[in-house]
Chains A and B, each alone.
Chain A
Amino acid sequence: MAASSVIDIKGLSKIYGSGSKATVALDKLTLQVQPGEIFGYLGPNGAGKTTTIRVLLDLIRPSNGSASIFGLDARQQSVEIHQRIGFLPGELSLWQGRSGAQVIHYIASVRGDIKSVVKQAEELAARLKLDISKKVRDLSSGNKRKLGLVIAMMHSPDLLILDEPTNGLDPLVQQTFHELMNEFRDKGKTVFLSSHVLSEVQAICNRVGILRDGDLKAVQSVEALTDVKFRWVHVQFRDGVPAEVAQGLRNLPAVSEFNADGSHARMRLQGDFDPLLRTIAAGYVEQLHVEEPTLEDIFLAYYSGEGAGA
């Protein structure tokens, strides 16, 4: 399995500093990303997402463990790997005094095959509604992000490594970005993206890895991650929430986080519906709404140590 992985990380650790000032950024991380998938790498700031990406790109060196891409060692064969990948950093910096077109031309020339790469870049820029004749210093942060995406994708790489790719993009462009990613995957190519935007990961990713304090907490498909045992239940009563119903709901072992506000009650249900339905039947129920947990809920569950099945 690991031999065919696009990204194969084994026991990767990265420690910054030494002695009492040592900070563990990654702790024995092991992870595989398969061909043709969009892999979401989730975690809060400081979790180690960017450190992982920087090791993959050979910008920093691991303290222990190894990383390979396309079966090539990320350290020893970085030039061959870089030929086949596109990268968008979390905080993109480019030459302020150059136009987008000049930046594209320069990077295309380093990559080789300038004509076709520049043509592809122009098509991508048109799709993202980016004016590449403007100087970098005159671009808004969103437009700089678009330019970064163009640079990452213009040579049709086999693997895209994107660090918080939609930061600063407006919703319409985010939609275009999602389309681009799906098209990219449909061509059998692979995307490794870090994000803290859970809806984005839910919308486009096949699998998700959740990172916390340099430790990979879980790797699951988005479907499996959302297939959890709890639901949010909203009940609207005609005559306010009856006191005995409220008390009965509070006493149910499957119900937690019960809140009543006027005629509306909201609770977290972990288990069967039947006891809850029997309890609320004592009042006049106008509306009953069951809400699936969001990835945000799952995310928080992981960070609080409950895990998805909580």
Chain B
Amino acid sequence: MSGIIMGNTLRTAWKQMLYWGLGLGLLGMYIVFIASNSDIVQGYADLFESLPPALLTAFGASGAELFRTTEGWVVTILVSELALFLSVYAVLAGLAISANEEQSGILDVVLSLPISRRAFLLEKWLGYALLAFGTVLISALLPTLTAIGLGIDADIGIIFASIVAVYPGALIVLTVTVLLSTLFRRRIAAIGAVTAFVIGSYMSNIVASSASGPIADLLETLSYFSHVGGESIVSGEYEPGGTLALLVAAGFGFALSAHLFDRRDIGI
């Protein structure tokens, strides 16, 4: 692995990372700004206490008590939105790894160069995985710095850590997009399948959080949203097992993608 393809990926796509990071960071800043007003936070907490549990789950919270603290309010409102928006970013980044270039025919030129398919895919995946981390980092830094600047009464470390904890979910979506691109070849088919994966995962999380029993437990295990640790970080119940599971799954997903990509025809 020479790192040239990865370096080129970073050079050509860093602006995308910056714009997405700034956009999501601005959203975080806005939510922190609202949270600086304790009356609004309390008003929300009162309102959410009156909501049924299923509706609360749709907002990314398992209970209304989370809304009583400023960091709980910020994390609960922000993290579920960030996880969804970052999934969109991850799909676009995943398509840029091989699907876009395969569809346009550029891959014919690239793969006629002295680089193996596996190395090509690995370098691009690592490049976009780094860029996704950069996006999450910018998304986390802007609201965190805003919270410090406004001097709000909250645990700033929890806000920062909760946002960064979204990253493994984005990595999973990135990897699933690559995997589906290698399976389906046609970009539009990969987009459809990965969209179904993201929406299915989101809905599974909502259903699993609102119900109990073995099926609900299974849905919770399968949904990557349920392994994004925002709420558990706030409540102090965070265990790194879920995050680790997502990272390992991403690694396996990539290995499978590379294996399939190495075996199939290109551009047909």
- Chain A residues in the interface with B (C-beta under 8 A): 16, 54, 57-61, 78-80, 82-83, 85, 87, 89, 91-95, 106-107, 109-111, 151
Given contacts A93-B104, A93-B106, A106-B8, contact A60 B266 (CB under 8 A): yes
B267 pairs with A59, CB closer than 8 A? yes
| B31–chain A nearest beta-carbon distance, Å | 34
B265 pairs with A95, CB closer than 8 A? no
B8 pairs with A89, CB closer than 8 A? no
Query: Given contacts A107-B109, A151-B109, could you give 5 more A-B pairs where the C-beta distance is less than 8 Å?
Result: A59-B265, A79-B116, A80-B114, A87-B108, A87-B112
Chain A residues with Cβ under 8 A from B263's Cβ? 61
Q: For the complex, is B105 an interface residue (Cβ under 8 Å from A)? A: yes
Chain A residues with Cβ under 8 A from B111's Cβ? 57-59
Q: Which of B5, B104, B106 has the most CB of A within 10 A?
A: B106
Chain A residues with Cβ under 8 A from B145's Cβ? none
When chains A and B are docked, how far (Å) is the Cα of A82 from the Cα of B265?
Answer: 17
Chain A residues with Cβ under 8 A from B116's Cβ? 78-79
When chains A and B are docked, how far (Å) is the Cα of A85 from the Cα of B112?
Answer: 8
When chains A and B are docked, how far (Å) is the Cα of A54 from the Cα of B263?
Answer: 14
Chain B residues with Cβ under 8 A from A82's Cβ? 112-115
Residue in B4, B104, B109, B266 whose CB lies within 8 Å of A87: B109
Q: List 25 A-B contacts (CB under 8 A).
A: A54-B108, A54-B266, A57-B112, A59-B108, A59-B265, A60-B268, A61-B263, A61-B264, A61-B265, A78-B116, A82-B114, A83-B114, A85-B112, A87-B108, A87-B109, A87-B112, A89-B105, A94-B106, A94-B109, A95-B106, A106-B8, A107-B109, A109-B4, A110-B113, A111-B114
When chains A and B are docked, how far (Å) is the Cα of A54 from the Cα of B265?
Answer: 9
| B20–chain A nearest beta-carbon distance, Å | 18
Chain B residues with Cβ under 8 A from A110's Cβ? 2, 4-5, 110, 113-115
B112 pairs with A79, CB closer than 8 A? no
Within 8 A of A (CB), among B253-268: 263-268
When chains A and B are docked, how far (Å) is the Cα of A57 from the Cα of B113?
Answer: 9
When chains A and B are docked, how far (Å) is the Cα of A79 from the Cα of B4?
Answer: 15
Chain A residues with Cβ under 8 A from B5's Cβ? 110
Cβ proximity bits B107-133 to A, threshold 8 Å, 1 near / 0 not: 011111111100000000000000000
Chain A residues with Cβ under 8 A from B112's Cβ? 57, 59, 82, 85, 87, 89
Minimum-distance CB pairs A-B, first 10 = A93-B105, A60-B265, A87-B112, A83-B114, A82-B114, A59-B266, A110-B113, A93-B104, A93-B106, A89-B108
Chain B residues with Cβ under 8 A from A60's Cβ? 265-266, 268
Chain B residues with Cβ under 8 A from A94's Cβ? 106, 109
Given contacts A60-B266, A109-B4, A110-B5, contact A92 B114 (CB under 8 A): no
Q: Which of A60, A61, A110 has the most CB of B within 10 A?
A: A110
| B29–chain A nearest beta-carbon distance, Å | 31
Residue in A16, A85, A93 whose CB lies within 8 Å of B108: A93
Q: Which of A54, A59, A80, A91 has the most CB of B within 10 A?
A: A59
| A152–chain B nearest beta-carbon distance, Å | 9
Label chain B's interface by main secondary structure: loop
Specify the chain B residue showing the minimal Cβ separation from A105.
Answer: B8
A16 pairs with B268, CB closer than 8 A? yes
Chain B residues with Cβ under 8 A from A78's Cβ? 116
Within 8 A of A (CB), among B1-46: 2, 4-5, 8
Chain A residues with Cβ under 8 A from B267's Cβ? 54, 59
Residue in A58, A61, A80, A93 whose CB lies within 8 Å of B109: A93
Chain A residues with Cβ under 8 A from B115's Cβ? 79, 82, 110
Chain A residues with Cβ under 8 A from B8's Cβ? 106, 109
When chains A and B are docked, how far (Å) is the Cα of A94 from the Cα of B5?
Answer: 15
When chains A and B are docked, how far (Å) is the Cα of A151 from the Cα of B267?
Answer: 20
| B167–chain A nearest beta-carbon distance, Å | 28
When chains A and B are docked, how far (Å) is the Cα of A54 from the Cα of B106?
Answer: 14
Specify the chain A residue showing the minimal Cβ separation from B104.
Answer: A93
B266 pairs with A111, CB closer than 8 A? no
When chains A and B are docked, how far (Å) is the Cα of A107 from the Cα of B109?
Answer: 9
Chain A residues with Cβ under 8 A from B264's Cβ? 61
Chain B residues with Cβ under 8 A from A109's Cβ? 4, 8
| B106–chain A nearest beta-carbon distance, Å | 5
Specify the chain A residue showing the minimal Cβ separation from B7.
Answer: A109
Chain A residues with Cβ under 8 A from B4's Cβ? 109-110
Specify the chain A residue showing the minimal Cβ separation from B2.
Answer: A110
| A250–chain B nearest beta-carbon distance, Å | 52
| B115–chain A nearest beta-carbon distance, Å | 6
Specify the chain A residue showing the minimal Cβ separation from B115.
Answer: A110
Specify the chain B residue showing the minimal Cβ separation from A61.
Answer: B265
Specify the chain A residue showing the minimal Cβ separation from B5.
Answer: A110
Chain B residues with Cβ under 8 A from A80's Cβ? 114
| B127–chain A nearest beta-carbon distance, Å | 14
Specify the chain B residue showing the minimal Cβ separation from A84.
Answer: B114
Within 8 A of A (CB), among B69-128: 104-106, 108-116
Chain A residues with Cβ under 8 A from B104's Cβ? 93
